[in-house]
Every structure is written in structure tokens, then in C-alpha cells.
Structure 1
Amino acid sequence: MAIDAYGLQDIKKELQHLSSPRLAELVLCLARYKKENKELLAYLLFLAGDEEAFIQQAKYEIGMMFYSMPSQPFNAVKVLRKILRYITKLSRFSGSKGVEITLLISFCTNYLEYTYTKVNYKPLRTILIRQVEKVGKLISKLHEDLQFDYMTDYTQLLDAADAKLSWFNKMEFEI
């Protein structure tokens, strides 16, 4: 016997008819069963109002992950992918392209600072290239005023990568 999957509209209508204590009980039950639901609920309740503090806290946590990254290229790639999954999750929580761009630029900056760049390990290089491309695409989709705000950080990132990495050509990534 399978449980029917109801649509979002049906669930929304049913939630409007529930009392506050029953609704709180359902939300806590939902948060109890999956860690990501609990994290999303915590974000919505405590952090959604102050986006700047959320970004600073996320940057700090990402920086700590980079600081504890191993020096072996194979293991470093694993940690970098874990950090990118974390950034994706935080971006989904906020729903803001600006937050995603800020966190990805922070990721790329930390990559340049903490990753051992003398190694010629292709997966390690590919991670940075893909993220720089992603930031460029996200910036190009923004409104012109917001594009200007993020372009300075993006240009600084390209200049730093071009200066530090021999295999990086900033001309390939300019918007």
C-alpha cells in the first residue's frame, strides 16, 4: 500500500486550515526526519533576516574548511567538492544569486590562497575553472547595476588567478 503524493497546492490549502500548535508540531516532525530540513528551518527562522551576517558566517566556515584541507591533490579535490556542495546548499537556502556569487568568489579566492598550485593535477585545476565560469555566467544574468557591483570582485579574482597560476588565462573568462 503506497501513500499518495499530493501536490503543493493541496498541501498549502490543508496547512491553511490547521491550528498554530498543530502546524508547529508538523514542522518539528518534518525537521526531525532530515538534517537538511532542519538546517533550512534554522536558516528561515534565524538567519534569513540578516543576509550579510549569513554571508559572513558562511565565508568563515568555508575558510575553515580550506584551512584544514590536506595537501595531497587527490584528497584536496574531495574536500573542494565537499565545500562546493556546502555552497550549493547555502545558495539554495537563500535563493539569492548575489549570495551565490559572493560565496563562489570567496571559494575561488580561498582556492588561490590555500590550494597547492604547483601540482599539475587536472581535476584540481578543473574545479577552479568551472567555478570561475559559473561566476561569470551568474554575473552576466544579473541586472546592470548589480553586474557592476560584482564585476570589480570578479576582475580582481581573474587578475589574482592569472598572476598566481601559470595555466590560467584570464582572457578566456572575461565578460
Structure 2
Amino acid sequence: MDTATIATIKKELGYYSQTELLNVCLRLAKFKKENKELLTYLLFEAENEQHYIDSVKRDMDDAFAAINTKNYYMIKKSVRKILTTVKKYIRYSQNKETEVVLLLYFCRKLRTMKPSFTRNTVLRNSYQTQLRMAKNTIAKLHEDLQYDYGMEVDKLES
């Protein structure tokens, strides 16, 4: 089966009634967890972006607290999982400021983690990559926000 393009799907959805669209959305939500998470964001969280950011930060705090710090293999695995989850939440939002806030928070949490991430090459490279991504996204924001977040990035780089 060939997958239709977004334009084709959009055109086809234009022909559906409200009830049919509701049924399609519900069926889509039942199919995969990520679809349900995205619909949850769009329906309940999109109106209050700050609340969404706070809830993602709480999830990150819990995940960092649950990391098994006995060896670096487990730390790397856990940090990679946290980062994957954060990236998924960023994709749901599609807001550049939210992306910067969450990436900088991730870097802050990684920096304060014990044992230090600097002793492991993979963790250090992951940290630097996320800082670089945050910098690139900051460049796309308003000038005032660029200055504020730029100061935060400078603190994390030193």
C-alpha cells in the first residue's frame, strides 16, 4: 500500500463531515501511543504552553532522579531515553521558544548530575550537541529572547 501525501490527505479530509472527522481522530488515537499524546497536547496543552513546559520539566526531573548511576553504560542509556522523550515533546509543540527552554533545561540537568558527565565522551558529546542545537534555535528567536537565552548558553558553556 502506498502512503498518501499530506496534501492529498488534507484534501480528502475536507470532504468529511464533523462526525466522520471525529471518528477518524479517535481511531487514530487508538492506533498508536504517540498519536494519543499529540492529540492530548493539541486538545489540552496547546492553549497554555507554560503549563506544558512545566509538566515536561517535571517529567525530566523524575527521569533524571531515577537514573541508575552505578556505571556509565546505564547513565548513557537513561540520558539517551530522556533526550528522545524531550525531543518528542518538542516535536509536539513546534514552538521554537519551547524547544530552547527544554533543551537548556536538559543541559542544566545533565550538568548537575552526579557523577559528572564530563568523564564520559558520549555524554559530553550529547551535551555539546544539545547546546549547539539550542544556539541554532535561539538565532531564530526575537532579539530580546536571543539575548536572554544567549546569556544562559554562555553560563552552560563555561
- Per the normalisation by structure 2, the TM-score is 0.91
- Change in CA separation of 1:134 and 1:115 when aligned onto 2, cut-off 3 Å: farther
Q: Secondary structure at the match of 2:110?
A: helix
Q: Is the 8 A contact 2:117 2:123 kept in 1?
A: no
2:92 aligned with 1:101:
no
2:36 aligned with 1:6:
no
Q: What residue identity is the alignment partner of 1:64?
A: D
Distance (whole Å) between structure 1 residues aligned to residue 17 and residue 134 of structure 2:
44
Instruction: Tell me whether 12-21 or 98-107 shows the greater mean CA deviation.
Output: 12-21
Q: For residue 13 of structure 2, what is the aligned residue in structure 1?
A: 15
Match of 1:42 among 40, 46, 51: 40
Q: Is the 8 A contact 1:62 1:83 kept in 2?
A: yes
Instruction: Tell me whether 86-95 or 14-23 shows the greater mean CA deviation.
Output: 14-23
Deviation for aligned residue 1:13: 2.2
- Aligned positions of 1:17-96 closer than 5 A: 17-71=15-69, 72-96=71-95
Post-superposition CA distance 1:18-62 (Å, at most 9, x none): 121111111111111111111101100000000000000000100
Unaligned runs of 5+ in 1: 159-169, 171-175
Instruction: Tell me whether 63-72 or 123-132 shows the greater mean CA deviation.
Output: 123-132
Q: Is the 8 A contact 2:108 2:156 kept in 1?
A: yes
- Aligned positions of 1:144-163 closer than 5 A: 144-158=143-157
Rg bigger for which structure?
Answer: 1
- Change in CA separation of 1:155 and 1:45 when aligned onto 2, cut-off 3 Å: same
Work out the percentage of aligned pairs sharing the same amino acid: 36
Distance (whole Å) between structure 1 residues aligned to residue 3 and residue 108 of structure 2:
44
Deviation for aligned residue 1:118: 7.6
Deviation for aligned residue 1:120: 2.5
Distance (whole Å) between structure 1 residues aligned to residue 154 and residue 33 of structure 2:
37
Deviation for aligned residue 1:132: 1.7
Give me the CA root mean square deviation.
1.7
What is the total number of aligned residue pairs between the two structures?
A: 157
